[in-house]
Structure 1
Amino acid sequence: MSLLLERLGIKHPIFLAPMAGVSTPELAAEVSNQGGLGSLGLGANTVETARTQILKTQELTEQPFQVNFFCHQSVELEPIASQAWIDFLRPHFEQYHAEPPTQLHCIYPSFLDNDDYLNVVLETRPKAVSFHFGIPHPHQIQALKDAGILTMVSATNLAEARAIEAAGIDIIIAQGTEAGGHRGIFNELFDSAIRTVDLVQLLVEHCQCPIIAAGGIMNGAQSQQMLNLGASAVQLGTAFVQCKSSNANDAYRHALFHEQITQISASISGRPARGLLGHWHTQVDLPNRPAVAAYPYAYDLGKQLHAAASQQGDHGFGAFWAGSNVSQIRELEARDLINQLLVEMQQANY
């Protein structure tokens, strides 16, 4: 057993990606009970619902799991830019006989805004907590360390990884460009767009922290490749979305098996994210598109447009996050998927 698995108290180097809106206590517990590291994506939760989900997961498993929060830099709403974005999407609302909102709201607070989420973590004591879009404040990191809770942060390039390590974080999640969902970029001058296989090798060479490979991993052969390159574990998201215990709706599940081209867009939420090709990519990401409203204000508008369209039976504005290898998805429950991954990992070593 590797040192990281021993520290986490898990049997297998398989992490469930913490997918906000899709993860559930049931799915997290199933992965943890099977020897992997289950997860809860709590960035979209209120403090109270985050606490409830953690406690529910602890009822379903005695095994370790991680919880995840967003560490974006909160910004004030910029009225002119947000109004331009509302006006640009207005024809799409009207197509579904709906009116866009007159005001956009900050629907997702950041872990950095205050210590409310930190206090929930300290109260409930999950084994690990991970962060996306940035690094917690020094006093938050110290509080988690003092509580014996392991910390993880996503990096999309070497500069971010070095910042994560310098902050005293325990584990780096190497998020390659193939990953579904939001890019964890916080070195925001550009997106390095590094493939997972290359990013893992880069970070293993230059960092001392354990590296978790994330992005485009769907089977055991791909998992074993990452481990052979020096990753301490792999993190899979898209492969688990189809599990019955996930919170994905029927339209999302159907699209995973039938609409298997992905593309990165910032139009849905205000931050770049990879999802199944839909109306956002073909009707909104046009050459004359104005600047997208800031995250998460744009997401407020995007969710309302999806709600209006889906009421008319059109799910093309859904945020159906998926990695670039989604065509390799298999219909397996979490327990069976982990067992299959382990068999394939063993076979890949022969």
Structure 2
Amino acid sequence: MSALLERLGMSLPIIQAPMAGTSTPQMAAAVTNAGGLGSIGVGAVNAAGARSMIEATRQAAAGAFNVNVFCHRPATADAAREAAWLAALAPVFRQFGAEPPAALREIYTSFLADPDMLAVFEEERPAVVSFHFGLPPAETIARLKRAGIVLFSSATSLAEAQAAQAAGIDAVVAQGYEAGGHRGVFDPEAPDAQLGVLALTRLLVARLDLPVIAAGGIMDGAGIAAALDLGAMAAQLGTAFIACPESSADKYHREALMGPAATATEMTALISGRAARCLPNAFTRLKDEALKGVPLPDYPIVYDAGKALATAAKAKGDGGYGAQWAGQGAPLARSLPAAELVAVLARELAAARAGGSAD
């Protein structure tokens, strides 16, 4: 057992991914109480909302949990580009008897520009804080470490992982291209080598001096065992937990996850403004329809339009315009309570390590 896992009180090398908008305090607590590391994502809420989620998780969890924030470059508004985006979406809104927003706004604040969120972490002192899309300034990292907080950072390349190590991060999450949700690249305008979890995990294990957590397409105990065999400290699973009753995924997301769309996930920036892997649906098809050739506004400004369209469509009974994030392992999803799923994963992992089957 890794020293870091022991420090966090984990009996299993299983981490539930901090899926903003899907993971909940109840889910995180269930995973932690089952021996893994539960996670909540607070990148899409303000400091007060984050404090409330941390307190709710702490009340239900008997051990450590992870709190994730977004470290993206703050958005740059472009009124002309945003107006063109809304004009392109207007006919789609009208199909549902609605009008698009009059203007778009930056719907949430990057951790890089949110001193209130940092203050909450210093006061609440969650066991783990993790970063996605990049790293905060050195002083922020130093303040979190002085508060006794373990720090994780996602990385999609060796260069990003080396930057995390140099910054003093305690463990790196190797996010393979298979992973569901937002691609964690530090610079979305730079080339992306699109490394898979197998190659990326092994590369980081070989080249870094800190623990590596494998993430991307891992759905069962055999996948966790493979990650550990590559040298990972633990495996992080996100899509595997979407169908759990503790998840906040809506019925449309759950139905799509259990249907044929699960076999054909795709990477798109249309919904939020940054590349993210999701289930194909009516929104992703707009790339060849209403949004074909329309310049994309900045992240997360464009997400304001996506959320408004999803709301308008759902009001008319159409759930095909939501952000239905999912990784390439989606066809292996199981609808089980989170604690039961962790127990099944643990049995499968034990069987895989013993060379047998948990079936």
TM-score, normalised to structure 1's length? 0.97
Equivalent residues in 2 for 1:276-295 (5 A)?
Answer: 276-285=279-288, 288-295=292-299
Cα shift at 1:199: 0.6
The letter for the 2-side match of 1:201 is: R
- The answer on 1:322 being equivalent to 2:326 is yes
Structure 1 contact 105–300 (Cα < 8 Å) conserved? yes
Cα shift at 1:285: 4.7
Q: What are the superposed Cα offsets for residues 256-304 of structure 1, whole Å, 9 maximum, x if unpaired? A: 1013121110000000000111122222355942221110110000000
Change (3 A) 1:285 1:180: farther
**Pairwise CA RMSD:** 1.2
Q: Which runs of 5+ in 1 are unaligned?
A: none
Task: Choose 213-222 or 7-16, whichever is displaced more.
Answer: 7-16
- The answer on 1:70 being equivalent to 2:73 is no
Cα shift at 1:83: 1.4
Distance, in Å, in 1 between the alignment partners of 2:109 and 2:286 is 29
Q: Percent of aligned pairs with the same residue?
A: 47
Equivalent residues in 2 for 1:1-350 (5 A)?
Answer: 1-188=1-188, 189-258=190-259, 259-260=261-262, 261-285=264-288, 288-349=292-353, 350=355
The letter for the 2-side match of 1:229 is: L
The letter for the 2-side match of 1:283 is: L
Distance, in Å, in 1 between the alignment partners of 2:152 and 2:307 is 28
Distance, in Å, in 2 between the alignment partners of 1:228 and 1:285 is 42
TM-score, normalised to structure 2's length? 0.95
Structure 2 contact 75–301 (Cα < 8 Å) conserved? no
Runs ≥4 residues deviating over 2 A: 283-289
Distance, in Å, in 1 between the alignment partners of 2:183 and 2:73 is 15
Q: What are the superposed Cα offsets for residues 13-51 of structure 1, whole Å, 9 maximum, x if unpaired? A: 100100111111111100000110001111111111110
Structure 2 contact 155–175 (Cα < 8 Å) conserved? yes
Distance, in Å, in 1 between the alignment partners of 2:142 and 2:288 is 42
Structure 1 contact 219–344 (Cα < 8 Å) conserved? yes
Distance, in Å, in 1 between the alignment partners of 2:216 and 2:43 is 19
Q: Which runs of 5+ in 2 are unaligned?
A: none
Change (3 A) 1:122 1:10: same
Structure 1 contact 170–209 (Cα < 8 Å) conserved? yes
SS of 1:112 mapped into structure 2: helix
Distance, in Å, in 2 between the alignment partners of 1:2 and 1:293 is 43
Cα shift at 1:187: 3.1
Distance, in Å, in 2 between the alignment partners of 1:119 and 1:96 is 42
The letter for the 1-side match of 2:93 is: F
SS of 2:111 mapped into structure 1: coil
Task: Choose 88-97 or 312-321, whichever is displaced more.
Answer: 88-97
Change (3 A) 1:2 1:281: same
The letter for the 2-side match of 1:195 is: G
SS of 1:104 mapped into structure 2: coil
